[in-house]
Amino acid sequence: MDLVATILVDGLIYAGWLFIVSVGLTLVFGVLNILNIAHGSLYAIGAYASASLVGAYFAAGGEAFPYGSYAALILAAILVAVVLGPLLERGLLRYFYGRDEVLNVLVTYAVFLILEDVMKLIWGVNPYFVYEPYTLLGTVEMGSLFYVGYDFAVIGAAIIVGLAVWLTLNRTQIGKVVLAVIHDAEISQTMGVNVKRIYLGAFMAGAFLAALGGALTAPMISVTPGLGVNVIIVAFAVVIIGGLGSVPGAAIGALMVGISRAASVHLLPEAELFIIYFVMAIVLVFRPEGLFAKTQARKI
């Protein structure tokens, strides 16, 4: 298989996964103006929850219809969003709306640390495996290389997620209300918009996307403690490149990171980590707000 084609395919696979993880982060920032460090924990909990649910599915005779395990993956992400979304947003974050952004970062960092220990209390330190969904779709031969069909399913999931989020925000009534809240929450409230509900909905959607990223990743890894740490770092790089709060920005950021990383692994493996942050630095030199964020006047 041609090197350029290999880099593109590898980059697309990585970018697909990265977009699903990052788009929730940027959505929550866009609506709530909170940089949610605990997004990484929600990703990890999604992975654990899906491992448990898929395991239970097969234990209950799921071998007869193994494709049902994909529904279990999605159900796990929904459960995480429904349980933890309101708990975190209504139970904690709402008390910090309008406060200093740095304070919000510290609050969500505290939540991240707490959830890391909660995961150990619930799932322990031993790894969880759910290989079955990873191999169900077989392999795809591309030139001299074999890819796992599941990887392309993740790209498909990323496209569906991206379109769903974009269409919801830009082509539906609720989306217009959300955009109004993003533009000015106070005026929206005076116009009769239930801002609290919008905040809750946006945070639950962000939690769902984080958990979905973890759930889709679980079949290809061993789910162990500390899973969310690396993810949140690279997800931040993506949303900073694309511009905080921008869905198209998250897509472009994920593509840039995915493809540049793939090129580095194939051509200059020593620079695999460097290249991600190099791309980010270059973007920030020319666009300090990120590629798609609107430039804002600085208040003095």
Partner 1 sequence: MRKTVLAGALGTIALAGGVTGPAAAQDDTFKIGVITFLSGQAAESFGVPAWNGGKLLVDMLNEGGKLPAPYDTMGFGGMKIEVVVVDEAGGATKQVQEFRNLVQREEVDAVVGYVSSGDCLAIPPVADELKAFTILYDCGTPRVFEDNSFEYVFRTAAHATMDNVSLARYLKSRDFDVPSFAGLNQDYAWGQDSWADFKGAMSQLYPDAEEKTALFPKFGAGQYGTEISALLREKPALVHSSNWGGDLQGFLIQATARGLHERAQLVLAAGDHVIPQLGNKMPDGIFLGARGVNGLAANARGGELKELTDTMWSAYEAEYDTFPVQAPFRMWQAIFGLKTAVEKAMADNGGTKPTDEQLAAAMTGLAWDAPSGRIEMALAGGHQAIQPNAIGTTKWNTETGKMELVDVEYYNARCVNPPEGMKSADWLAQGFPGAQCD
Q: Which stretches of the chain bind partner 1, using CB under 8 A?
A: 1, 3, 6, 9-11, 13-14, 17, 120, 125-127, 129, 131, 134-135, 139, 144-148, 151, 217, 220-222, 224-227, 229-231, 261-262, 265-266, 269-270, 272-273
Query: In degrees to the nearest 10, what's the CA dihedral of 51, 57, 63, 69?
Result: -60
Q: Which residue lies nearer to partner 1 by CB, 33 or 222? A: 222
H helix runs in the chain, sequence order: 3-32, 39-59, 68-91, 101-123, 132-135, 149-171, 173-183, 185-190, 195-217, 227-242, 247-267, 272-286
Residue 1 Cβ vs partner 1, minimum distance, rounded to whole Å? 7
Q: How far apart are CA 167 and CA 95, in angstroms?
A: 30
Residue 225 Cβ vs partner 1, minimum distance, rounded to whole Å? 7
Bridge partners (DSSP) of residue 141 are 146
Q: Which residue lies nearer to partner 1 by CB, 187 or 233? A: 233
Q: Which residues of 37-62 are buried (b: 16+ CB within 10 A; e: fewer)?
A: bbbbbbbbbbbbbbbbbbbebbeeeb
Residue 229 Cβ vs partner 1, minimum distance, rounded to whole Å? 7
Which of 250, 257, 245, 234 shows the shortest CA–CA distance to 295?
245
CA angle 242, 88, 31 (to 5 degrees): 35
Q: Which residue lies nearer to partner 1 by CB, 11 or 290? A: 11
Q: Which residue lies nearer to partner 1 by CB, 195 or 221? A: 221
Q: How far apart are CA 119 and CA 229, in angstroms?
A: 13
Q: Do residues 142 and 7 lie in contact, with contact meaning Cβ atoms separated by under 8 Å?
A: no
Residue 151 Cβ vs partner 1, minimum distance, rounded to whole Å? 6
Q: Which residue lies nearer to partner 1 by CB, 13 or 251? A: 13
Q: Which residue lies nearer to partner 1 by CB, 11 or 206? A: 11
Q: Which residue lies nearer to partner 1 by CB, 39 or 261? A: 261
Residue 169 Cβ vs partner 1, minimum distance, rounded to whole Å? 28
Residue 227 Cβ vs partner 1, minimum distance, rounded to whole Å? 7
Residue 11 Cβ vs partner 1, minimum distance, rounded to whole Å? 8
Q: How far apart are CA 81 and CA 219, in angstroms?
A: 20
